[in-house]
Amino acid sequence: MNTDFTSEELAFQTEVKEFLNSAMPADIKHKTQQGLHLAKEDSVAWQKILFQQGWAATNWPVEYGGTGWTSTQKYIFENECAIAKAPRVVPFGLKMVAPVIYTYGSEEQKKRFLPDILQSNVWWCQGYSEPNAGSDLASLKTTAVREGDDYMVNGTKTWTTLGQHADWIFCLVRTAPAEVKNQGAISFLLIDMKTPGITLSPIYLLDGSHEVNEVHFDNVRVPAENLIGEENMGWTYAKVLLTHERTNIAGVANSKVRLAELKAKAAATSNGGPMLSDSVIWQQKVADVEIELLALEYTELRTLAAVSTGKAPGPESSILKIKGTEIQQTIDELNVEMAGYYGLPFVPEQYDADFDETLIGSGQLANSNPRYFNNRKATIYGGSTEVQFNIISKAVLGL
């Protein structure tokens, strides 16, 4: 694979750098560079800036508002965003449900939903996992019973990320009798979160953050026109969505930046001296993850090349998901090892914009342990590593 940029691609890279430098609001830039929490308003504001630039939907078809970029341009954009620490686009609308709508939705649904997703006027969340249906998603129990022009929805979804901000939720629901095979009984439904009968219960994580939720449906009436595609074909649509999600989860560009920061900190100082030169074992760990990350980057480039031709990511997205999340967790572990006892104190307020970092004495090193614990979920969400191995063995190896 030729990884040298053409003169046109180098010009595009310069354009992206200049845009990110000039367009990112100072308050948002401060938060991302310091590892502080972004508010919903920050994410929406940044996505609207991208929309005004015409760069919000990098993977959408041009006819629906996509950029029409080549795989190399997408690669350049993601890398420059990571280097500039631009906010990551909230994926549920732009990168997850939108591809399902423009691929399988009706013309009316495309006109109704895609413009608001593109402009970030509507915040979406995902209703897949349930209390007893996570990795075995096909065993989900939430039902949608047809009553005239509506579906009556009952059940519970869990681990709903940022659902407290959401205007709409896309759900997998059971629409066929119990005796029908699990995958053949599932439909893909779009639900307004303001519909009567929906309640949300927060789930607080170890770091005290309200990141995920349970969403309860009690006789929630949903118009049948919100069904995507055909009834009982939702599993097919869900698999397409998950390939997009898994490709996005790989996070190659962000891992490259985090690894570079790790090496810079380790070369400067740590507990008793620079680890990058004093500890041969630690050097080997860093070298190992750097090699794996480079290999993953080439795999991602091949996937982006396929997507640029209009295809959905294939089963190689499972490879990206496995290795991408494992590399993220390895970088977490190296940060914890480097921080040593400085990683032990945890003050929830350290993520607030007005917190004085000198109060904990070690700056962002104190973020290492909370991030480590929070990111253990990475090998589970989007389909656990074990599920990805099964997909690869069947779809790639033919076993």
pLDDT score, position 363: 47
Q: pLDDT category, 4, cuts 50, 70, 90?
A: confident
pLDDT category at 313 given cuts 50, 70, 90 is low
- Per the prediction, the chain carries an average pLDDT of 86
Q: Is the domain of 366 the same as that of 338?
A: yes
In a domain, 117, yes or no: no
Q: Does residue 207 share a domain with residue 254?
A: no
Cβ atoms 153, 140 nearer than 8 A: no
Give the CA distances from residue 68 to residues 24, 55, 59, 72, 80, in Å, rounded to whole numbers and listed in that order: 23, 10, 8, 11, 18
Mean pLDDT of 372-383: 81
Residue with tokens 């549920």: 92
The mean-pLDDT minimum among 98-107, 274-283, 359-368 falls in 359-368
Same domain, 227 and 257: no
Q: Are residues 255 and 383 in the same domain?
A: yes
Q: pLDDT at position 361, please?
A: 45
Whether residue 255 is contained in a domain is answered as yes
The answer to whether 196 and 150 have CB atoms below 8 angstroms apart is no
Same domain, 268 and 374: yes
**Do 180 and 288 fall within a single domain?**
no
**Residue-level pLDDT at 307:** 61
What six digits make up the tokens of 294? 């480079």
**b/e 319-333 (16+ beta carbons within 10 angstroms → b):** bbbbbbbbbbbbbbe
Q: Which strand (E) or helix (H) includes residue 126?
A: strand 124-127
The boundaries of the domain holding residue 73 are 7-89
274 and 385 within one domain: yes
Q: Are 144 and 174 in contact (CB under 8 A)?
A: yes
E strands, 158-235, are 168-174, 186-192, 198-204, 210-223
Residue 234 has pLDDT above 80, yes or no: yes
Task: Give the count of domains, the chain.
Answer: 3
368 and 260 part of one domain: yes
State how far the Cα of 378 lies from the Cα of 322, in Å rounded to an integer: 9
Per-residue pLDDT, averaged over 102-116, amounts to 97
Q: Are residues 392 and 254 in the same domain?
A: yes
Q: How many residues does the chain have?
A: 399
Report DSSP letters for 302-368, one per residue.
HHHHHHTTTPPP-THHHHHHHHHHHHHHHHHHHHHHHHGGGGS---GGGGSTT--GGGTSSGGGGGH
Last residue of one domain, picked from the residues 38, 65, 89: 89
Q: Do 261 and 378 have their domain in common?
A: yes
* Average pLDDT rounded to a whole number, residues 334-338: 86
For residue 197, give the CATH number of its domain: 2.40.110.10
Which range of 4-13, 202-211, 275-284 scores highest in mean pLDDT? It is: 4-13
pLDDT in tens, 277-309: 767 888 899 999 999 999 988 888 777 666 655
Whether residue 140 lies inside any domain: the answer is: yes
pLDDT at 372: 82
* Single-letter residue type at 109: Q
Same domain flag for 224 and 307: no
153 is written with which tokens?
Answer: 């929805």
For the question of whether the overall pTM of this predicted structure is more than 0.75, the answer is yes
**21 within some domain:** yes
Answer whether residue 99 is part of any domain: no
User: Alpha-carbon distance 211 to 37, whole Å?
Assistant: 11
Helices 71-84 and 280-307 pack at an angle, to 10 degrees, of 140
For the ranges 9-23, 31-45, 255-269, 272-286, the maximum mean pLDDT occurs at 9-23
Pairwise CA distance, residues 308 & 299, whole Å:
14
Do residues 77 and 23 share a domain?
A: yes
